[in-house]
Amino acid sequence: MFTLALKNLLSEKGRLVLGVAGVAFANTLIMFHVAMLLGTFSQITKHIEKTDADIWVLQEGLSDVTSSTSFVSGSNIEAIRKIDGVERVTGLFLYYTSVKIRQKVENVFLVGYDSESGVGGPWRLAKGKSNVEGDEIIMDESLAKSEALDVGDEINISGHKLKIAGLSKETSAVATQYIFISKESVLDYLNLNNIYNYLLVSCRKRADIGGVLEEINRIKGVDAYTRQKLAENTLRFWGKFLVPLLTTLVIVSFLVGTTVIGIVVHNITLHKQKEYGILLALGASSASVCAIVLWQGAFVGSSGFIGGALISAVAIHIANDTIPGMTACLDHKVLAISILLTWLMIMFSTIAPLARILKTDPFEIFRG
């Protein structure tokens, strides 16, 4: 049956090529959007997950790091240090801002971290040093590349001339990148009086983290979360905006692919309906004839999937390499989702052709 299905498809080479191209286009859109969503989600919480702190302390009423700016008094540091099981407490600045780089305005996450311990700073370095001091910064590698900057170059932030001491990797978020600077410099530049965005708490080994968390939450004006819980809350916040948007794009792509396969298979079924009627008249079962139609749909869909996967791999590689902040990830999850959707395309697109085959009266063929 597969041989006959392939023969039917090859007899309509024009329709076959257009069909495979259409499905490849639909699969490319699906893979790219899903890869972009998964890649974005992995980057949104990477700073939280890579920071060596068991507990994050936020301003009271906040539960994630992106919905609103948190302000926590540094006076809470001593109170938290006195809690049994606490090993280290340090302040962290993390806020979204605009900086002017070579006459171009860039949106970045400016991170003021404890450069002495490295807590809250870059977790993977591409070049230069990891601990900054004074007017030194560490810039995301993709941002530096897009602006033709390198270690040793200087940029201006809020009227302060800063020197690039290192370049970091994996420090891109949603359409933005990270710039790391010492928290002491942020306090000085912004004239902040012992005010931080977050407090990072590390517990001793075998300490009861739940107990420490409970004690911190008794302090007035703050809410504390474990690293895992804060990451979940932050993902949930972004998911409310990103998931519906990208789901809509995937659904549209799915409908395009289903329609294309349906048109190709339906047209070939109409063209070959007399041959199918003869097969039925000669004793072929309806299931066997329907299998031909399914094989046709499977061939178009599978060929389109392979083409889409190849195009997506190239497109994602180019996008990640040339667009700052792009973190699309083509992995086994993306391929699995695309395979599932491709087979659903095949199943839905062959419903009409199969119905036509099942209604075919072989004796009408001979009467005609």
Q: What is the pLDDT of residues 122-145, one digit of tens each?
A: 999 999 998 898 889 999 998 888
Mean pLDDT confidence for 218-231: 96
What are the boundaries of each domain within the chain?
2-44+237-367, 61-220
How far is residue 14's CA from residue 9's CA, in Å, rounded to a whole number?
A: 9
pLDDT above 70: percentage of residues in the chain: 89
How far is residue 145's CA from residue 150's CA, in Å, rounded to a whole number?
A: 8
Beta bridge partners of 155: 162
> Quick one: pLDDT band at residue 57, thresholds 50, 70, 90?
very high
Reply yes or no on whether the pLDDT at 40 is more than 80. Answer: yes
CB count in 10 Å sphere of residue 267: 14
How far is residue 325's CA from residue 175's CA, in Å, rounded to a whole number?
A: 5
Mean pLDDT confidence for 85-92: 95
How far is residue 12's CA from residue 279's CA, in Å, rounded to a whole number?
A: 20
pLDDT at 246: 86
Tokens of 201: 């708490």
pLDDT at 174: 66
Reply yes or no on whether the pLDDT at 365 is more than 70. Answer: no
pLDDT at 37: 85
pLDDT at 173: 73
Alpha-carbon distance values, 72 to 58, 81, 93, 189, 194 (Å): 6, 15, 10, 18, 9
pLDDT at 88: 95
pTM: 0.78
CB count in 10 Å sphere of residue 105: 8
pLDDT at 39: 84
List the Cα angle 32/17/279 in 5-degree steps: 120
Taking the alpha carbons at both ends of the chain, their separation in whole angstroms is: 26
Q: Residue 186, SS3? A: helix
pLDDT above 90: percentage of residues in the chain: 39
> Quick one: pLDDT band at residue 225, thresholds 50, 70, 90?
very high
